[in-house]
Structure 1
Amino acid sequence: MVATPTRQLSLEEFLQLPETKPASEYSNGEIIQKPMPQGKHSRLQAKSVNAINNLVEDAKIALAFPELRCTFGGRSIVPDVAVFAWNRIPVDEKGNIANVFNTYPDWTIEILSPEQSATKPIKNILHCLNHGTSLGWLIDPEECNIIVYPQNQQPIYLENETDILPVHEIVKELHLTLGQLFKCLKLN
């Protein structure tokens, strides 16, 4: 029996498909559905978004968005947290935040889900860095560590509670240690 090759979808065709829950991403003609977020993932995502927005939103410096579709460089990805400098946030004709973000985030944060391979989130972070993003984080809630990906530098592995997390320059007022970040997972 001869296998018939299936036609790959174009990025434009993918973007016409209905959204899925959890979100699906597009890369090189392939559609990959993200894993369903679970407790630790959701809590770390909320903590990151809130910590960033509490410092920068009122001053109109930047905004952190959870699960925002970003389409650029031939791919359409949905970072767990996408941070945009205020002047880079797409707006519609009324001056409101646009629904479609056809650009890269300034800072991307990916959070591993249980039993998820790190390969896909790392590929997304590297894609972002190759298209203008300045900083990426890969948070591993099970191991309580973070790999920081600064643009044009070697990744930095952080595992000690006292390690200070490198942040994007637009949120330089955010002083957070690894221990402070992961403390949000404790309920006592």
Structure 2
Amino acid sequence: MTAIVTENSTLVEFLQLPYIDESPAWEYINGQAIQKTITGAKHSLLQKRLVGVIDTAGSNYEAFPELRCTLGNRSIVADIAVVASNQIPLDENGDITSTGINFAPAWIIEILSPDQSQTRVTGNILHCMRNGTQLGWLIDPYERSVIVYQSNSLPDILSEADVLPILEGINLKLTVNDIFAWFQRVS
């Protein structure tokens, strides 16, 4: 589902809309408000497991599912945004804010859904990379591959036993096979 607020809507106007965080969330890309697609079981499972393994890896980073990232005249909702613990925005009470972040996450992970535009998702990753993100993954559950984006290098397509790059300081080793093995039912 795609909706346009107005031809000339601004990011400030978009962020004031009352429904942008309803499920599925809305993103602001190139002057348009676009609603994300509804995800399926594979997407949800990968998102849940990745957040869990990243957070239990013992580091100075936190993984957030569906976190709004507003930067450089774009507001996206990353499937997973990994943020340095010391950058997590806090309110006057010391509680985490509810508005998302206004900077590029250190690591962005997007999981392709069947009805989702790979071009739009890739554009969101590249936008974050241009604005300071160090690492990006585009996981394609149907091709069982991961396109990896890193600062100062061309994207790479990894599959099977390829070891995925992880942010420095996160004690985690994952292969592409490890990620897709989560689809197997465990009794």
TM score, norm. by length of structure 1 = 0.91
| Residue correspondence of structure 1 range 47-62 to structure 2 within 5 A | 47-56=49-58, 61-62=60-61
Note if 1:45 corresponds to 2:47: yes
User: Structure 1 CA distance, aligned partners of 2:183 and 2:105?
Assistant: 26
Cα deviation for residue 152 of structure 1 reads 1.7
Partner of 1:11: 11
Specify every segment of 5 or more residues in structure 1 that has no aligned partner in the other structure, as ranges: 1-5
User: Structure 1 CA distance, aligned partners of 2:124 and 2:7?
Assistant: 24
Q: Which amino acid aligns with 2:24?
A: P
Note if 1:178 corresponds to 2:171: no
Partner of 1:77: 76
Specify every segment of 5 or more residues in structure 2 that has no aligned partner in the other structure, as ranges: 1-5
The answer to whether the 8 Å contact 1:85/1:170 transfers is no
Cα deviation for residue 170 of structure 1 reads 3.2
Cα deviation for residue 12 of structure 1 reads 0.6
User: Structure 1 CA distance, aligned partners of 2:183 and 2:85?
Assistant: 29
**Other structure's SS at 2:78 match:** coil
User: Structure 2 CA distance, aligned partners of 1:125 and 1:170?
Assistant: 21
Cα deviation for residue 21 of structure 1 reads 1.6
User: Structure 2 CA distance, aligned partners of 1:49 and 1:106?
Assistant: 14
Residues 124 and 7 from structure 1, CA distance in 2 versus in 1: closer, same or farther, beyond 3 angstroms?
Answer: closer
User: Structure 1 CA distance, aligned partners of 2:174 and 2:168?
Assistant: 14
Percent identity reads 50
TM score, norm. by length of structure 2 = 0.91
Partner of 1:96: 95
Q: In the TM superposition, what whole-angstrom CA distance separates every residue of 1:67-124 from its partner, at most 9, and x where no partner exists? A: 0111111110001000001111111112221222111111000000013221011000
| Residue correspondence of structure 1 range 20-35 to structure 2 within 5 A | 20-35=22-37
Runs of 4+ in 1 over 2 A off after TM superposition: none
**Other structure's SS at 1:81 match:** strand
| Residue correspondence of structure 1 range 92-131 to structure 2 within 5 A | 92-100=91-99, 101-131=101-131
The answer to whether the 8 Å contact 2:83/2:105 transfers is yes
**Other structure's SS at 1:67 match:** strand
Count of equivalent residues: 178
